[in-house]
Structures are given as structure tokens and as C-alpha cells.
Structure 1
Amino acid sequence: MARMTGSWLSGPTAALPLDDDGTPKYRGERLGLPEIGPGSLVGTGRRLGALMLDWLMAGGVSILILGGDALDSRLSSVVLLVWFVVGVVTVTLFSFTPGQYIVGLQVARIDKPVGVGIVRALARQVLLVFMVPPLITDIEGRGMHDRATGTALVRSR
């Protein structure tokens, strides 16, 4: 009897059905997303670019909150808090963070064409804080934080 879950050595294709060869034509095909253009899955470079922009903006706001003291020992904690709150609020309200908007990305639910919602946005942001779930991706290129919340980072334009 074959194991249904596969081994951790099996890679991202281990959870696929047995009759599937594990090679999609393009990223997002199994999710019903287009190959290119708005609504298609994005690559790692654009994700990192958006994250860096969000982190730099959170750093700037944090320096303003702390009164311009960039060497304050609390700076890293305040940056993380600002980044977390901005991420949850903006993804809940608009489906993108400021950095994602600049780069042309948005967070989309894969089960329904509706907004992300506060529960998914909060869970997604909590998982992003740990930085490991985004680094582990499936065959579609989605991070484990997106798989856990039923979301995907797609192109908005």
C-alpha cells in the first residue's frame, strides 16, 4: 500500500494524484489562473521586491514614531509591529500592501472571487513573520503561508 502523503524527500509533487505526472504547463494552471497577465501567479523576484518596499516603508514610519532616532534599541521591534499592522489592514481592505501595489501585485483568494478578509489576512501575516513558510513553495510556486490561507499572490496589472 503506497503512502498517501509521500516522504519529505519526495518534493512538492508528492501530494499530487497518482495519475498526474506532476508537470503543469505553467504556474497556476491547477488553480485555474491564467498563464500571463492580470491574475497570473508571480515569481519570487517580484515578491521579494514588494516585501523589501514594505519593509523600508515600515522602517521609515518607525523612525518617525521613535522621533528620528535610527539607533534606538527598539527600532527593530517597532518596524516589525508597523509592518505587521500595515500588512493586515491593507490586505484586509484592499487585497494588497503598499509595496505590492507599487510592484503590481495583489493577494487573491483561490476559492472565490471575493476579498481576502481579516481572518485570512491575519493568519497570512502571522505566518509571514516567521519567514520560513514563504520560503517553502509547492509545485505552483505558492508559499506555504498562501496554501494555509487559501490565497495566492497574483499580478494586478
Structure 2
Amino acid sequence: MGKQPRWTQTWIGGTRAAGVDLGYPGERLGFPRAGSGSVSGFGRRLGAITVDWLICTWAIAGGLLRADPRGATWVGLAVFAVEYILLVGTIGMTFGMRLFGVRVATLDGGRPAFGSVVLRTLLLCLVIPAVVWDRDQRGLHDRAARTVVVRL
């Protein structure tokens, strides 16, 4: 009898530890492995959203609420949502996304419709859908809006 892995090793280590090849992120969606048009990694996405959040909360909302900085978080979130809806809806990316070389695209590589952008933004503002990812590095907000973040 050969040595078989304990069930906890495959469960804790995920499907890759069980010997299942899932391919690269975006392969089953038809995106290239690397370069322009490939699915963006976590680091670029985190960097982009951090830049956008800082711009919206510190620069814009902080300037609007100098007298009462306690309200800057909610105003910052509202400014963040408006920034995402306007910029992703018109040019496909925000300031942070441009800085980190990524954009939001539909599953066929085009620009998302306005309704998809609004849905994606509202779910992104809830945070939880954005931190639950699938094997193609798409958050629940991307899956619901039928979008993906790709490299420029």
C-alpha cells in the first residue's frame, strides 16, 4: 500500500496540493498568461485601490470636511464610489488603476456597461465581496458585474 496524503493535507493545502492543475488565472476565461490583457494580480489591485482610497478620503473628503474630520470616512466612501462610477464607467480605470497599469474589462475584453460599473462599485464599497476571490482572481463584485481586472 503506497503512502497517501492525509485528507487534511489536501483540504488545507487546496486543490493544487491534491495534484489538480487549475492552470493560470484567466485561462478558462480566454485571457493570456502574462502581459497586456492578462488577469491582474492581487498586488496591483491592492495598490490601485489604496491609492484611490487615499485620494478620496484624504485629499478630497478631508478638504470638504476640515471642520468635522469624523465625517470624512463616509464622505470619503461616497467620493470613492462616485470616482469609481465616473472613471471606470467612462475610461475603464481610476487614477490608482492607471498608476498600477490595470483596467476593468468585460469577459470579452471590452469596456463594461454603466449598469455593471454601478453594481461592481456598490459591491466593492461593501468590502466583503471584494475579498472573496475565485481561481481567476475575480472577486464576487467582479463575478456579479461580469468583469475582470486586466493589465494594460
Fold similarity call, TM over 0.5 = yes
1:74 CA displacement: 1.2
Counterpart Cα distance in 1 of 2:123 and 2:87: 16
Say whether the 8 Å CA contact 1:24–1:30 is kept in structure 2. no
Counterpart Cα distance in 2 of 1:114 and 1:32: 13
Where structure 1 has 5 or more consecutive residues not aligned to the other structure, the ranges are 1-8, 14-20
Superposed CA offset, 1:56-99 (max 9, x none): 00021111222x44x52211111001001000100000011111
Instruction: Choose the corresponding residue for 1:44, options 36, 42, 67.
Output: 42
Aligned to 1:104: 101
1:31 aligns with 2:29: yes
1:50 CA displacement: 0.5
Counterpart Cα distance in 1 of 2:127 and 2:70: 22
Deviation beyond 2 Å, 4+ runs, structure 1: 21-25
Task: Give the total of aligned pairs.
Answer: 136
1:121 aligns with 2:120: no
Counterpart Cα distance in 2 of 1:146 and 1:115: 13
Is the radius of gyration larger for structure 1 or structure 2? 2
Aligned to 1:78: 75
1:154 aligns with 2:150: yes
What's the TM-score once normalised by structure 2's chain length? 0.82
SS in 1 for 2:78: helix
**Which amino acid in 2 is paired with 1:79?**
G
**Which amino acid in 1 is paired with 2:120?**
R
**What is the aligned-residue RMSD (CA, Å)?**
1.9
Aligned to 1:64: 63
1:22 CA displacement: 5.7
SS in 1 for 2:69: coil
Structure 1 pair 154–76 and aligned structure 2 pair: CA distance change class (3 A): same
Identity of aligned residues (%): 34
**Which amino acid in 1 is paired with 2:126?**
F
**Which amino acid in 2 is paired with 1:92?**
G
**Which amino acid in 2 is paired with 1:119?**
G
Which protein is richer in helix relative to its size?
Answer: 2
Aligned to 1:3: none
**Which amino acid in 1 is paired with 2:45?**
R
1:131 aligns with 2:130: no
What's the TM-score once normalised by structure 1's chain length? 0.80
